[in-house]
Structure 1
Amino acid sequence: MATIGSYLKKHTEALVKDVGIEPACELTGKSKATLGRYYSDHDEHADRFMPIDSVARLEEASSYPHVTAALAELKGITLSFDRERRNSKPSGGVNADVIALSQRFAILMAEYQQSIEDGIITANEAKRLLKETVALQQVLIDMKLHLEDETV
C-alpha cells in the first residue's frame, strides 16, 4: 500500500502543479498547506489523500487527468485522453494514421536514443519519453477508430 500511496501522491502533486497552486486553492477551497499535505511524502501525512471531489475539480481545469490516469494504471486499465474533441479535426483515415504512426514512432525512437546516450534515463528524459508514448498511443487509438468505422 505504501507504494500505491506514494504513486498517487506523486500524481496528486503533478495535478496541483499543472493547475497552479493558487488556482488549485480557489477551485478546491483548500489552503496551500492542506494541498501540500495531500502530496507530502512525510510519514505524518502518509494517510492523507485529496478528496475525490477536489480531484475532479482540479482535473477539469488541468491539461491532463493525472490522478485518474494513475488510478487507471494501478488497475491495469488504459484510458484514452484526447485534448482535441473528436469532431474538431479533419479525418485523414487509415492511410493518414499509418503515416502519423510511423512519424510518432520515429520521434519516440529519437527521444529514446538521445535519452539513453549516457546510459541513464533521467526523470526529465523519462517524462519526454512518456509524452511521446502517449502521443503514439493516441495515434493508435485514432487508427483503431478509423478501422472500426471502415468495418461498419
Structure 2
Amino acid sequence: MSSVGRYLKKHTEALVKDVGIEPACELTGKSKATLGRYYSDYPEHADRFMPIDAVAALEEASSYPHVTAALAELKGISLSFDERRRNSKSEGGVNSDVIALSQRFGMLMAEYHQSIEDGIITANEAKRLLKETLAIQQVLIDMKLHLEDEQT
C-alpha cells in the first residue's frame, strides 16, 4: 500500500473513533466490518477507502475533520478550523451577509487604525487584525453559500 493510502486510512480510523463505531454505523449505514475495512492496513483491503458521502456525514458529527484535513495536508494546503460549523445554514440570507460584511469591515478598519497609530504593528495587533480578517472571510463564505442556494 502506498504511503498516501496508509496516511488516509490512519485518518479514516481517527474519524471513526472520534465519532464512535456505533454512531458511525448509524450515520453511514455501514456495518462495523465495512467501516473497519476502510481503515484496515491488511493487503486485501489496500484499495478500499471510505466513500466521500460517508466521510462528510462522519465529519459533520466529529470534533475535527480528520480526513478533510489529511487530504488538504497531502496537497500542501492548510485549513483554518472554525468550531462554528461554517457550512451550517445561517439565518438571514444575502442581505444579512452584506450587513455583517459591512460591520466586520468597519471593525477591521478600526483595529487597523488603532494598530498603525504608532507606526508599528506589534505581534498582538497583527493577531487581532488576522482575527478580523478571518471573520470577514467567514462572512464571505456564508454569503457565497447563500448566493449558491438562491441559484437553485
Query: TM-score, structure 1 length as denominator?
Result: 0.59
Amino acid at match of 1:144: L
Residue 126 of structure 2 is aligned to residue 146 of structure 1: no
CA RMSD of aligned residues (A): 3.2
Give 1:143 shift: 4.5
Map of 1:78 onto structure 2: 78
Gaps of 5+ in 1: 102-139
Residues 85 and 37 of structure 1: CA distance in aligned 2, closer, same or farther (over 3 Å): closer
Map of 1:41 onto structure 2: 41
Map of 2:28 onto structure 1: 28
CA offset digits 1:94-113 (Å, max 9, x no partner):
88x829x9xxxxxxxxxxxx
Query: TM-score, structure 2 length as denominator?
Result: 0.59
Give 1:71 shift: 0.2
The separation in 2 between residues aligned to 1:68 and 1:76, in whole angstroms, is 12
The separation in 2 between residues aligned to 1:83 and 1:58, in whole angstroms, is 15
Residue 14 of structure 2 is aligned to residue 14 of structure 1: yes
Map of 2:52 onto structure 1: 52
Gaps of 5+ in 2: 87-99, 101-106, 116-122, 136-152
Map of 1:66 onto structure 2: 66
Match of 1:98 among 124, 128, 147: 124
Is the radius of gyration larger for structure 1 or structure 2? Answer: 2
Report how many residues are paired.
Answer: 106
Displaced runs of 4 or more, over 3 A: 84-87
Residues 29 and 85 of structure 1: CA distance in aligned 2, closer, same or farther (over 3 Å): closer
